[in-house]
Amino acid sequence: MKRILLADDNPGLRAALRLLLETRLEFELIVEARDMEHVLAQVEDSRPDCVILDWELPGRPIHERVPVLRTLVPHLKVIAFSARPESKQTALEEGAEAFFSKNEPPIFILDMIQALCQQENESEDPMDRERTCPLDQGQDCTAEGGSLGEHTV
């Protein structure tokens, strides 16, 4: 079972994401972290397979985050997320494998996390996948609207 570290400074959002992950996906959620220093300590201790990282998390400068995490766990997959969609380019340029906005529909977020964190083959890029909801039989997830903050979990 894959291990995930969930990092966000908002306890309500962490709780919502944790509930989604625990009830919808088959992952062992190791720990939650509230700031970058806590993330580094938990990555070193727990050696997760995947980190879901709030890109605006307090702590180290943005350009140091992914490289420092990868010195601790070379195979670590990093999914960045933010309330600011304009952070996507920076997150991907700095080494994150994927990015999602906190305004994305929960099914899109779950699909991305599952695709990346369960991925064994490094050559597959989850960002190349189309934005479709598997439950909507190919319809765009944004057609229904909504976001993690707007859905009842």
CA–CA dist 118, 142 (Å, integer): 24
For 71, the enclosing helix (H) or strand (E) is helix 62-72
Mind listing the pLDDT tens digit for each residue in 106-146? 899 999 998 888 776 444 344 443 333 333 334 344 334 44
pTM: 0.76
- pLDDT at site 12: 92
For 50, the enclosing helix (H) or strand (E) is strand 50-54
- pLDDT at site 35: 93
Mind listing the pLDDT tens digit for each residue in 14-39? 998 888 888 888 788 778 999 999 99
Distant-in-sequence, close-in-space partners of 127: CB < 8 Å, separation ≥ 6? 92, 97, 98, 99
- pLDDT at site 59: 87
CA–CA dist 105, 12 (Å, integer): 17
Mind listing the pLDDT tens digit for each residue in 65-80? 999 999 999 999 999 9
- pLDDT at site 151: 36
